[in-house]
Structure 1
């Protein structure tokens, strides 16, 4: 599978990633799926071109990208931060992968933000990457400033 031509950023992320100063959701998605974790400091120590490359990896469910993502990230960190990514066992059944239930955290975040809940039908129509984004943005118990813009971008809020 080929890399995207440009970093895969949602519209609502363009400002919040501050030109890749913060780890975009596409990179977080692949880190979480492949059981890797890096710090914000490690991310920021990577050259912009490397951060951009990591943000161009596919988000489709394709095991063929795992070794490429792993190798690229490990080499970048070794070269520029003299570190390796922390590894962990990825969640084998993440809530965002389910289309039969809207996660409780998404329901809670919708309520905190004062917007309507996504219907189960609309939730199930989202791509896995979109469901991941909403689940990631709603994991904390306080309002996330990107949650409402994400819901709007995905057609779930006015």
Structure 2
């Protein structure tokens, strides 16, 4: 699987991430799947062309399919920031992979936004990357400004 032709952005991300000042969900996904962490300041030190390249990597859950994201990130960080990303151990079974239950954080955010919680069947039908995005947006106790727009974009809210 090769790189996308353009950075992978959802419609709800265009305002905040179109110029790649902020990390798009595709980059966050790849950071999480490889167990890498960089700060927003480190992201912003990277030249725009490098941020574009990182946002073009596929968002497949299988790290063997596209193993170069981590290598590219390390080289970019060493070259432009003289640091390496921090490592962490990714969750073995993150909530977004579980198609048998809607994550508690997602249900809580639906309640905060006065939206119905998706059924388990509807949750299971979502593309894995979209499940990741909704789980990521609903991980904190306070509401995310992108949560409702993402729910709408994914067909889960009016």
The reply to whether TM is greater than 0.5 is yes
Q: Distance in 1 between matches of 2:82 and 2:10?
A: 30
Alignment of 1:47-86 (within 5 A): 47-65=47-65, 67-86=67-86
Q: Distance in 2 between matches of 1:66 and 1:88?
A: 19
Alignment of 1:2-13 (within 5 A): 2-13=2-13
Structure 2 unpaired stretches of 5+: none
Alpha-carbon shift at residue 65 of structure 1 (Å): 4.6
Q: Which residue of 1 aligns with 2:14?
A: 14
The 8 Å contact of residues 32 and 90 in structure 1, kept in 2 or not, is answered as yes
Q: Structure 2-normalised TM-score? A: 0.97
Of the structure 1 ranges 97-106 and 12-21, higher mean CA displacement relative to structure 2 is found in 12-21
Alpha-carbon shift at residue 62 of structure 1 (Å): 3.0
The 8 Å contact of residues 34 and 66 in structure 1, kept in 2 or not, is answered as no
| Shift >6 Å, 4+ stretches | none
RMSD of aligned Cα (Å): 1.0
Alignment of 1:77-156 (within 5 A): 77-156=77-156
Q: Distance in 2 between matches of 1:53 and 1:65?
A: 17
Q: Structure 1-normalised TM-score? A: 0.97
Structure 1 unpaired stretches of 5+: none
Q: Distance in 2 between matches of 1:18 and 1:58?
A: 17
